[in-house]
Amino acid sequence: MVAPGWRAERLRAEGWRSPLAAVGICLTSILAVARAGASLGDPFVDNRPSATVDWRRGAIQATGGAAADHRMPSADAARPGAERRARAAARARLAEALRSLPLGGGRHLDEAAVTRAVNRARELEVELQSNGGAQVRMEITFGDWEELAGATGAGIDRGAEGGSPGTGDQPTTPVGLLALSLPEARLAAAPMVVVGQREVALGSARYTGISGMPEGLRPLPGHVDQKGRLVLSGRESAQDLAGRAVMVYVQKILR
């Protein structure tokens, strides 16, 4: 991953007002698609037309590009505007991905939650072309839509459910995440869990294969019911589980 604020300028042979001035944007877009293609077949990476959802990291990345405004007197003068337009394009793609992101239990984010998450998007990379164009890569993480740190259920629409890539299983469970083990599950960013007779929403969820489970870890066992909810068979308190961020180790992903 490239550090935030990183900038790289590619030198290109074409002139400022050449008909090929927009080629840089096209080429870098192709490279972005190629990087995403490297994770094809990975059940924990969802490569969408507008963005990439990495379920292992609980993150969504999107890239926006903008060609230079040739009405400007020079490439240097055109770049600030291109950067602004590229950021706006990346944020629009993040918003599109967030609106269709399944939270679990038939829930989706409402527009206020989508806006909160997009406003918290982090800039990962800015690439400036010598012709004055720009490309910007941005990321949000699951939970960025919450109103307050640790808030639960915020910004969730309970309507009908709709239908940098990971590089392998997580070697360890991130500190602070509750570990669950399931034979099969549907990917959901904030799944519903059933404990006894009570149903509560967990916090943001990450997923990886059973093979990625650290040795000696004892995750809470469970299964998925017909509604797609996680059912835990232990003596856990629903109150203690509500809003908890989780790492789910799963044998099979249901589609």
For the stretch 203-246, pLDDT in tens is: 899 999 998 898 888 898 999 988 888 998 767 777 788 888 99
Indicate whether 133 and 194 sit together in one domain: no
- Taking alpha carbons only, the member of 44, 43, 73 closest to residue 56 is 44
Q: Is residue 153 part of a domain?
A: no
Contacts of 23 (CB under 8 A, 6+ apart): 12, 14
Indicate whether 114 and 15 sit together in one domain: yes
Number of structural domains (the chain) is 2
Residue 172: phi, psi to the nearest 5? -145, 160
Q: Is residue 151 part of a domain?
A: no
Domain end (from 141, 160, 177): 141
Indicate whether 24 and 101 sit together in one domain: yes
Indicate whether 105 and 203 sit together in one domain: no
Query: What per-residue confidence (pLDDT) applies to 212?
Result: 87
Q: Is residue 17 part of a domain?
A: yes
Query: What per-residue confidence (pLDDT) applies to 187?
Result: 94
HSE of 124, CA atoms in CB hemisphere, 13 A: 17
Q: Which residues of the chain have pLDDT under 50?
A: 1-39, 150-153, 160-164, 167-171
Q: What is the C-alpha separation between 61 and 54, in angstroms, rounded?
A: 8
Q: What is the 3-state composition of the chain as percent helix, strand, coil, each rounded to the nearest 5? A: 20, 30, 45
Residue 25: phi, psi to the nearest 5? -60, -45
Q: Is residue 161 part of a domain?
A: no
Domain of 56? 7-141
Indicate whether 11 and 137 sit together in one domain: yes
